[in-house]
Structure 1
Amino acid sequence: MTEILDSNEELIEAIPEQLPVLFEDDFYIAAYKPVGLLVHRSWIAKEASQFALQILRDQIGQYVYPVHRLDRPTSGVLIMAKSSEAARKLSEQFAAQHIDKQYLAVVRGYIEGEHQLDYPLKEKLDKMVDAKAQQDKPAQSALTFYSGLQKAELPYPSGKFATSRYSLVSLKPKTGRKHQLRRHMHHLSHHIIGDTSYGDGRHNRLFRELGLPGLWLFSKQLSFLHPYTDKKIIIDCPLPERWKQLFKLMSWN
């Protein structure tokens, strides 16, 4: 599993000595991953010295196994297993697209109603990690459900207009392509704010000037059928402080 890092992302959240636990039983533990924290050690970020895997291991006094990934600039729900077998069972659900994931994002422009985007994506290959991989693979299917939750218009220009419009959206990816949500919103011209790879630099700059830098993409909720108990597990993450500040600026509930 390769950790994804955009070197030009702004990393702004302080990394605590212990991660807030959102769910824990004998098989799994889920915690809040702040912006800037890698899931595990990666050659892509050799300067990094803190990792969610290490913090959780020290926190609960036992080894943990990653079963999915959150990009370094993305915050929110991160779940790990307490055994290799438990990791395999839940990884299989991720691979089979049986895990329901909900993200919140702030995007440019207004989005209303519920929609779905079925737009295949070419696999993103890393020059070093994927050097031996097939370079001309066809685009892979990628499906995202998205809906507008709230809107705001700020009295600041970000281009040729005197004001700037934004939406809070719910994003539910049904496939797990690399940077799927960021690339899909780019395709719709509703770029996620703070995305320096696929976003709009004018809006990113405005948010930095407003004291709200970083990628505005948040893993809000994970739900799945527990492999050992057959119970439906819903893990919901409270809004972190930086998102509360954003809601206040936007006058959102």
Structure 2
Amino acid sequence: MSLDILHIDDDLVVVNKPSGLLVHRTDLAKHEQDAVVQRLNEQLGRWVYPVHRLDRATSGVLVMALKDDVARHLGGQFMERSTGKNYLAIVRGHTASDGVIDYPLAKLNEEKGRARFKIEGTEKEAISHFQTLESFQIPVPVSRYEQMRLSLVSVEPEQGRTHQIRRHFKHIFHPLLGDTRYGCRHHNQAMRDHWSQDLRLMLHAEQLSFTHPVNQQRIAVSAPMPDDMSALLDSLRTQTFN
């Protein structure tokens, strides 16, 4: 299936990555052959170079370079934090109107058969800014409560640590809806029972801005919200659940 191209020129291409698709093949998912890189190679008839990544379950703006030197320049911008990143997320509970999550993130031990734990001494600075766009209280029972509370938030992470937004919102007790790794299983199951069994991680990379490595112009590219996330927000606004 072809990818939705948001911007393309002689040097780079920006796509709207669908949820569930890997950015590139990885040893962690050896059985998976489908990925953004492979699709774009076939779609454009030329090689593309990954510059940054989005979690498999995350949808939204993803930039790829069409030349090796462009990839290095773009990669440098991500390392230097000169890019602008904005995400939309649906989280548990009613969040503050705005806030800053300043919480260093350590690497996690991922050995199979063992409980996940932080690796001491690997902490790195991680700061995320957020603003609450909407809050909801819906007639869906969860745990010991008769109603569920959720919020739609806009998030701007300063860094791009692994699972930064997901881990940060877990840290402030507002985990992302649909997150099977860091989320609330009670909320996830309640929404699957009353809305859709296909509930996925409600995280979307809405906008990415960067300086074009060749012409030096600032580019801002936005990706429309995916249908499943839009449908969930419609249900939250209209209070329509099973």
Is the pair's TM-score, using the shorter chain for normalization, greater than 0.5? yes
8 Å contact 1:124–1:178 — kept in the other structure?
Answer: no
Identify the residue that residue 251 of structure 1 maps to in structure 2: 237
Identify the residue that residue 217 of structure 1 maps to in structure 2: 203
Identify the residue that residue 50 of structure 2 maps to in structure 1: 66
**1:48 aligned onto 2:67:** no
Work out which of the residue numbers 66, 73, 76 in structure 2 matches 1:92.
76
Secondary structure in structure 1 of the residue aligned to 2:82: coil
Give the AA of the match of 1:188: I
Structure 1 gap segments, 5+ residues each? 1-16, 129-134
Separation in 2, partners of 1:138, 1:216: 28
Residues 76-106 of structure 1: CA distance to partner in whole angstroms, max 9, x if unpaired? 1111000111000000000011111111000
Secondary structure in structure 2 of the residue aligned to 1:101: strand
8 Å contact 1:101–1:221 — kept in the other structure?
Answer: yes
Separation in 2, partners of 1:114, 1:226: 31
Shift in CA distance, 127/162, structure 1 to aligned 2, threshold 3 Å:
closer
Work out which of the residue numbers 178, 183, 187 in structure 1 matches 2:171.
187
Separation in 2, partners of 1:125, 1:60: 38
**1:199 aligned onto 2:186:** no
8 Å contact 1:64–1:80 — kept in the other structure?
Answer: yes
Structure 1 residue 127, shift from structure 2 partner: 4.7
**1:108 aligned onto 2:88:** no
Work out which of the residue numbers 136, 143, 152 in structure 2 matches 1:152.
136
8 Å contact 1:152–1:250 — kept in the other structure?
Answer: yes
Give the AA of the match of 1:36: G
Separation in 2, partners of 1:30, 1:126: 31
Structure 1 residue 206, shift from structure 2 partner: 1.4
State TM-score, norm by structure 2. 0.91
Separation in 2, partners of 1:250, 1:154: 7
Structure 2 gap segments, 5+ residues each? 113-118
Identical pairs, percent? 39
Work out which of the residue numbers 171, 174, 180 in structure 1 matches 2:155.
171
Structure 1 residue 151, shift from structure 2 partner: 1.0
Work out which of the residue numbers 212, 226, 230 in structure 2 matches 1:226.
212
8 Å contact 1:157–1:164 — kept in the other structure?
Answer: yes
Structure 1 residue 137, shift from structure 2 partner: 2.6
**1:121 aligned onto 2:105:** yes
Tell me how many residue pairs correspond in the alignment. 230
